[in-house]
């Protein structure tokens, strides 16, 4: 059984994991920084990088202990080296280089966004014993259509193999998770916004407000959520020059606003995925990223995949947000295909 150690420090999650045989998660340790950034309403890069430096050694040790492995059991060191906050990336990349050198192990650089797609292939520890008997635990048939929906990314991919991905479209402004955070701020709910908006929306009427669908043309596979966010802002605060805030709305009006926003987002994603299915041949639909935890969106995508007659691969809830298991899993996949980085591997903010 081959094991790969994965390190994730692209943003505000300090994480390390051990994955066996490319898919079976032996450990997945995450230390969130939400408490450090909450009062600022978003991630402060300098604070995030310093926290990674302070925490990472202990988290690596904990991941190794939970997996009950030693350096001799590790086949490679995978690290997210792009994209992300460059100061945060440097912490993880530097640590991975040091471990690869000290343990004499291959180093694998992993694209964080691509890893979100691989998250749907992971088998949580509790399910590892039934992997061979579970249809859901089988790898996704390729080629596949991939959708990444997270705080920093909204992209569609054609996945021929997990080392050969072609981006079909991406956001031209706000990512979908960023839009959730901004709407949460407009409604004065707090940070992070996704779970808070979803919770409020459960008590609202999704048809109470009609927000615009920004589709960027009939054939476009790109995304834009900035206009939707602005529409929510004007709906809540009124047109420019007024003094109204979400505090002036009733509880039901706030819930209706959240529900209508959530419905609009889900419709945009559904339309774009359907367009992409008409563009490429896909034997499966793979979805990843923090927003893939949203139940409404999961349901809409499940219906879409069922109608197309292809399986849908969604990550387990613990692998939706940033984690190191997805880094280790994709790293193991790339290592098996012969990919290996040198010790001069760079941290790249955009990719």
Dist. CA 332–CA 339, nearest whole Å: 9
- The answer to whether 3-136+318-336 and 144-310 have equal CATH topology is yes
Q: How many CB atoms lie within 10 A of CB 318?
A: 15
Buried b (16+ CB within 10 A) or exposed e, 233-260: eebbbeeeeeeeebeebeeebbbbbbbb
Report which of 166, 134, 136, 175 is spatially closest to residue 269, judged by C-alpha positions: 175
Is the per-residue pLDDT at 348 higher than 50? yes
The helix (H) or strand (E) run that includes residue 60 is: helix 45-67
Model pTM?
0.92
What is the mean pLDDT of the segment spanning 41-56? 90
Q: Which CATH code fits 3-136+318-336?
A: 3.30.420.40
Percent of the chain with pLDDT over 90: 84
Residue 342, Cβ neighbours under 10 Å: how many?
A: 9
Query: pLDDT exceeding 70 applies to what percent of the chain?
Result: 95
Provide the strand spans (E) within the chain. 3-8, 13-20, 24-32, 74-82, 107-111, 144-149, 154-161, 164-170, 285-288, 312-313
8 A C-beta contact, residue 195 and residue 216: no
What is the rounded average pLDDT for all residues in the chain? 93
**pLDDT at position 335 over 50:** yes
* Distance (Å) of CA 6 to CA 50, 118, 265: 20, 13, 32
Which residue ranges make up each domain of the chain? 3-136+318-336, 144-310
Q: What pLDDT score does 137 carry?
A: 59
Quick one: pLDDT at residue 240?
66
CA distances from 35 to 51, 176, 218, 271 (A): 11, 22, 42, 36
- pLDDT reading at 126 higher than 80: no
Q: Is residue 130's pLDDT more than 70?
A: no
pLDDT reading at 120 higher than 80: yes
pLDDT digits (tens, 9 = 90+) for 268-327: 999 999 999 999 999 999 999 999 999 999 999 999 999 999 999 999 999 999 999 999
Q: Which two tokens stand for residue 2?
A: 């081959």
Three-state secondary-structure class, residue 52: helix
Q: What is the pLDDT of residue 246?
A: 87
144-310: what fold?
A: Nucleotidyltransferase; domain 5 (3.30.420)
What's residue 132's pLDDT? Answer: 37
- The count of other CB atoms within 10 Å of the CB of residue 343 is 10
pLDDT confidence of residue 134: 40
* pLDDT tens, position by position, 194-252: 999 999 999 999 999 999 999 998 899 999 999 999 999 999 988 765 678 888 899 99
Residue 8 vs residue 136, higher pLDDT: 8
Q: Among the residues of 121-250, which ranges form H helices?
A: 176-186, 193-201, 226-237
Q: What does the block give as tokens for 38?
A: 């909450």
């Amino acid at each position: 059984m081959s094991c790969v150690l994965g390190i994730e420090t692209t943003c505000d999650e300090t994480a390390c994991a051990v994955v066996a045989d490319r898919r079976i998660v032996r450990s997945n340790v995450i230390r969130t920084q939400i408490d450090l950034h909450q009062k600022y309403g978003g991630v402060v890069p300098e604070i995030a990088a310093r926290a990674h430096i302070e925490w990472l050694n202990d988290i690596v040790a904990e991941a190794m202990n939970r997996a009950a492995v030693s350096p001799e059991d590790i086949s490679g060191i995978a690290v997210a080296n792009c994209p992300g906050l460059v100061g945060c990336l440097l912490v993880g990349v530097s640590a991975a280089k040091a471990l690869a050198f000290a343990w004499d192990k291959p180093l694998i650089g992993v694209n964080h966004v691509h890893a979100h797609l691989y998250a749907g292939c992971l088998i949580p520890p509790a399910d590892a014993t039934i992997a061979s008997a579970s249809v859901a635990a089988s790898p996704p048939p390729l080629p596949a259509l991939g959708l990444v929906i997270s705080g920093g990314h909204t992209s569609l991919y054609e996945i021929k193999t997990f080392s050969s991905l072609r981006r079909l479209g991406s956001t031209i402004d706000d990512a979908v998770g960023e839009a959730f955070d901004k709407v949460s701020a407009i409604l004065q709910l707090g940070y992070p916004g996704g779970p808070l908006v979803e919770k409020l929306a459960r008590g609202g009427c999704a048809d109470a407000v009609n927000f615009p669908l920004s589709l960027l043309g009939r054939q476009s596979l790109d995304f834009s959520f900035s206009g939707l966010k602005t529409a929510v802002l004007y709906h809540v605060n009124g047109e420019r020059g007024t003094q109204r805030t979400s505090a002036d709305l009733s509880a039901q009006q706030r819930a209706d606003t959240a529900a209508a926003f959530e419905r609009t987002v889900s419709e945009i994603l559904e339309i774009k995925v359907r367009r992409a299915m008409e563009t490429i041949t896909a034997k499966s639909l793979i979805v990843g990223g923090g927003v893939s935890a949203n139940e409404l969106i999961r349901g809409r995508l499940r219906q879409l995949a069922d109608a197309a007659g292809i399986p849908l691969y969604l990550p387990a809830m613990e692998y939706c947000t940033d984690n190191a298991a997805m880094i280790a899993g994709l790293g193991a996949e790339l290592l098996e295909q012969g990919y290996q980085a040198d010790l001069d591997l760079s941290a790249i903010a955009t990719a």
